[in-house]
Structure 1
Amino acid sequence: MTATVYLVRHGRTTLNAQDRLRGLSDPPLDDVGVAQAEAVAAVLATADVATVYSSPLQRAVRTAQTIAARFDLSARPDPRFNDRDYGPWTGHERRAVIEEFGSVDAAPGVEATADVVARVRPALDSVLQDDRAVVIVSHDAVIKPLIAGFTDGEEPVIPTGSWSELHWDHGGWRVIVAGRVPMPIAP
């Protein structure tokens, strides 16, 4: 089996613009995020997409719906692609959490990256379509560690409104593109 998966990070929200930990909070896309969703949908419009999945959070669902509409499909929310749970640090500035604990990973109550990967990796493998593309709209805390696992630990930058392309071939994943943006990110 050969397959292509496009991992798309949802468009920007106000909390992204403020560099606050979003996690399981559910802010909508802001105007920049809507434009980012439309831009990535336009880029992927020439792909042979069979299915569009998303995290159930509205920022991912809205991005997925925008992409799915290009293919006359419906987006399929799947909780396995949900964002990382930042626990009591949800909504806090990333910088402040890092200053207090040394890293987001060290903050008490934050879902471990290994747990995120353990939840998402089987889901990724389960949605493959032979010779067809699948789009999964998710979050940087999901996409980064997945790609790092396929690239010997090299964690890419995954901006809002970006896509990464993965190929499954002969039982293994290969990263073709990571964190590509179709338009400049607004400040």
Structure 2
Amino acid sequence: MAKYQIYLVRHGRTWFNRYNKMQGWSDTPLAPDGIEVAKQAANALKDVDFAAAFSSDARRAIDTCKLIVDQNINHDKITPQKMMEFREEFYGYYEGMNSPEAWFMVGQPHGADTFSEIIDKYGLDATKDFMKEADPFHDAENAEEYWTRVNRGFEKMDEVAKDGDKILLVSHGTTIRSITDRYNDGDFDVTVSPRNSSLTMMTRDNGVNKVTSYNQMLN
């Protein structure tokens, strides 16, 4: 096992982001302003000596990753790889729904009206468990299912990472927020979503994760 850094970047803004809709395993393209902010991130990261680049298998993450890698000093040495393990949380029945409405439906049985209120009262993992409970099909991921998937992704990354490597990983808002909440090595407010194309830094040392910065804008 190795000690390496992960540059965890949220994808650029999409059409569903613009309309404030639930976007987990559903996918919409980067909006024009999302492409521009992803290009800003690419410019800010162009001189980072990336050894490898990964993204979730959602088009919004793949496209953002490509924009960053194409500008990087190592663009001719690294080929972005997609990993379904770093997809966004699956929202099941609530995919594509208006976000405030969905979280009101999920939180109300527990005395919470908003996503942030659920986090404040019960913690971030509870948002996953409550969503699966509220989903009439029970297709949404609960916390156990979600973390089994994400942790499998980190274990796959360990197979290619070497000591001192810098690795790019493009993922999603709730996934970055969840990783930060679980492996927080600072005082980061996870009631605030990471912005599109923001950077969260983490170190993985012999299988142990530490998030050292959260939601930095790249421009």
For normalisation by structure 1, the TM-score amounts to: 0.88
Q: Note the residue ranges of structure 2 that are not aligned, 5 or more in a row.
A: 108-114, 116-126
Q: Displacement, 1:173?
A: 2.4
Q: Is the 8 A contact 1:4 1:131 kept in 2?
A: yes
Greater helix content: 2
Q: Separation in 2 of the partners of 1:113 and 1:176?
A: 23
Match of 1:121 in 2: 151
Q: Separation in 2 of the partners of 1:85 and 1:101?
A: 14
Q: Separation in 1 of the partners of 2:25 and 2:105?
A: 21
Match of 1:61 in 2: 62
Q: When the two structures are aligned, how many residues end up with a matched partner? A: 183
Q: Does 1:161 align with 2:194?
A: no
Most deviating of 66-75 and 107-116: 107-116
Match of 1:78 in 2: 83
Q: Is the 8 A contact 1:117 1:146 kept in 2?
A: no
User: Structure 2 matches for 1:103-182, cutoff 5 A?
Assistant: 105=128, 106=130, 107-108=134-135, 109=138, 110-127=140-157, 128-151=161-184, 156=190, 157-169=193-205, 172-182=208-218
Most deviating of 174-183 and 136-145: 174-183
For normalisation by structure 2, the TM-score amounts to: 0.76
SS at the partner of 1:176?
Answer: strand
Q: Displacement, 1:178?
A: 0.9
SS at the partner of 1:159?
Answer: coil
Which structure would you say has the larger Rg?
Answer: 2
Moved over 2 A (4+): 103-107, 152-157, 168-174
Identity %: 25
SS at the partner of 1:25?
Answer: coil
Q: Note the residue ranges of structure 1 that are not aligned, 5 or more in a row.
A: none
Instruction: Return the letter of the residue paired with 1:140.
Output: G
Q: Is the 8 A contact 2:184 2:212 kept in 1?
A: no
Q: Separation in 1 of the partners of 2:10 and 2:207?
A: 25
Q: Structure 1 residues 125, 47: CA separation in 2 closer, same or farther (over 3 Å shift)?
A: farther
Match of 1:99 in 2: 104
Q: Structure 1 residues 180, 15: CA separation in 2 closer, same or farther (over 3 Å shift)?
A: same
Q: Is the 8 A contact 1:83 1:139 kept in 2?
A: yes
